[in-house]
C-alpha cells in the first residue's frame, strides 16, 4: 500500500511540475514573444557534410532570448529536488531532426546570469564585514542571452526547432 501511495504522489509531483513548462515551435527568423521575452534562432552557417558514407546538412544555429518586457527580471535563488541542476534555466532549445553524429548537438540551453548584492554579514569572529552575496539571477531589460550549436540533419531538411520555457519564480 505504501509503495502504491508513494508512486502516486511522485507521479503527481512530476506531472504538476511538467505543467509549468511551456513548449512552442519556432520558425527560422520568426521569434516568439512570451511575457515580454523574445525567443528565436538564426542559422549562421549552412553546409553539406558526409558522415559514415551518408550526407547530412550541417547548420550552425544561434539561439537567443531577448528581454523586451521593459523591466529587468530578477529570479530568486531557489533549489528544489526538481531543479537543483539548473535553477537559472530560462529556456531549452531542441532540434527535433538533429542526429547528434560526429560530436554535434541536439539541444542547447539559455540561463540567466548570477545576481549579487553587497551585504553586511558577521564573520567567524563576530565582526561585521561587507561581502558580495548571491541573491539570485538577473535578466536585464534589453539584454540578449545567446548560445550557438552545430547540428546535423538529414540532407535536404532544415532544422526543426522547439523551445521549452522554464518557469522561474520572479522577485517582485
Write out the H or E segment, with its range, that includes residue 8: helix 2-18
Where do we find the cell 520558425?
27
Among candidates 6, 81, 66, 60, which has minimal Cα distance to 33?
A: 66
User: Which range has highest mean pLDDT (4-13, 15-24, 81-90, 104-113)?
Assistant: 104-113
Strands (E) in 68-105, as ranges, are 73-76, 89-95
Three-state DSSP at 155 gives coil
Tens of pLDDT, residue by residue over 38-57, are: 999 999 999 998 877 889 99
Predicted confidence at residue 103, as pLDDT, reads 84
What is the tens place of the pLDDT at every residue in 90-140? 999 999 999 888 888 999 999 999 999 999 888 888 899 998 988 899 999
pLDDT tops 50 at residue 169: yes
Distance CA 93, CA 108 (A): 5
Residue ranges of domains in the chain: 22-165
The pTM is what? 0.79
Amino acid at each position: 500500500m505504501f509503495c502504491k501511495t508513494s508512486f502516486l504522489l511522485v507521479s503527481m509531483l512530476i506531472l504538476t511540475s511538467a505543467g509549468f513548462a511551456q513548449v512552442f515551435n519556432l520558425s527560422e527568423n520568426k521569434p516568439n514573444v512570451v511575457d515580454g521575452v523574445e525567443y528565436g534562432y538564426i542559422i549562421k552557417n549552412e553546409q553539406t557534410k558526409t558522415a559514415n558514407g551518408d550526407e547530412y546538412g550541417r547548420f550552425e544555429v544561434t539561439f537567443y532570448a531577448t528581454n523586451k518586457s521593459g523591466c529587468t527580471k530578477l529570479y530568486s535563488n531557489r533549489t528544489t529536488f526538481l531543479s537543483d541542476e539548473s535553477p537559472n534555466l530560462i529556456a531549452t532549445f531542441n532540434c527535433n531532426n538533429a542526429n547528434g553524429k560526429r560530436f554535434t548537438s541536439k539541444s542547447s540551453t539559455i540561463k540567466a546570469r548570477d545576481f549579487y548584492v553587497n551585504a553586511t554579514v558577521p564573520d567567524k569572529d563576530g565582526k561585521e564585514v561587507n561581502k558580495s552575496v548571491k541573491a539570485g539571477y538577473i535578466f536585464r531589460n534589453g539584454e540578449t542571452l545567446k548560445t550557438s550549436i552545430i547540428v546535423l540533419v538529414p540532407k535536404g531538411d532544415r532544422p526543426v526547432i522547439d523551445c521549452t520555457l522554464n518557469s522561474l519564480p520572479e522577485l517582485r
